[in-house]
A and B are shown apart, each in its own frame.
Chain A
């Protein structure tokens, strides 16, 4: 029988050490990556503002109020979604926590982030789209053009439902992982 330990430990490795220059470069890369993440996260509010900017001309005050609310919701969401983005990516106490603790906390963080996305990013986008689409739908029914609108509406619904389902699945998966880890922690404390 081959010894997996020997096979593992004898695998070729290249000596690797990060020089101070490389550290600085890595820090800059990390900074740039965070900035890019922020830019990407602004896509949601941009959609909301674009839709709302166009639709704010609607005469209905209820619609205008809803759109203004969607803008405010979306902008507030950016604060809640990104407020910790610039802070240290490695919590200071990681090395003082055991592997299971720090991993559980990371899974919890991911789950919370996924939940915040639904509330603060998808929520306002759906509200803005709905506020925009409902009057169009009414107009379509009145003018007998509903059939022409069906492909667009179907795509919209598929997209929203798809994003929602994927996120909910992720959340459920992470919840299961957290429960398992908590159970392991409980057993190991006894």
Chain B
């Protein structure tokens, strides 16, 4: 097989992998972008960046890890770089541990409006440091502790502890009853 043919095959494989990933994880990636950027315009740019870098990364995909792990690692890297680049309020970002200790103004409130609940959830996530954001997003995407550990590099025990904290935080802030809106 000639070099040109090899490159062409490689390019086609890269395109196929990207299409497969975009088809399977496109919606998750859009939700991930929402966790990292509040501004719709910038979020669209971030989404495009994630897709573009994902496509580029598939040039070197060698099945050493699952497609999902690969996609999430690349997406997180692009999104975390975006947070660092923007820098606005970077110093105000907190860890899950700190967030658990913080009193919530809207604690116990429940909004009947689905959109408002979602907005509150997104705002809550965007208060977190990038690594904890990745954990909570993966949790909300219904991944198990092993998968989250594989993506983040945290030990299963640590992931389990973080998930426990996430559940506490979410239960406290999204409890039905209390002060209804």
Contact = CB atoms under 8 A, between A and B. Distances in A.
Contacts of B140: 4-5, 8-9
A15 B31 CA distance: 12
B17 to A, nearest CB: 11
B88 interface: no
11 contacts: A13-B26, A16-B51, A90-B57, A90-B74, A98-B150, A99-B73, A102-B77, A106-B77, A106-B80, A107-B84, A185-B153
B117 A2 contact: yes
B160 interface: no
Interface of B: 15, 18-19, 22-23, 26-27, 29-31, 34, 47-49, 51-53, 55-57, 60-61, 64-65, 70, 72-74, 76-78, 80-81, 84, 87, 90-91, 110, 114, 117-118, 121, 129-131, 134, 139-142, 150-155, 158, 170-171, 174-176
B116 to A, nearest CB: 10
Q: Which size class do A's interface residues fall under?
A: 35 or more
A11 interface: yes
B30 A16 contact: yes
A89 B53 contact: yes
A154 interface: no
A7 B121 contact: yes
A98 B152 contact: yes
Interface string A1-28: 1101101111101111110101100110
Contacts of B18: 18
Contacts of B154: 100, 184, 188
A30 to B, nearest CB: 8
A1 B175 contact: yes
Interface string A97-133: 1111111001100100000000000000000000000
A88 interface: yes
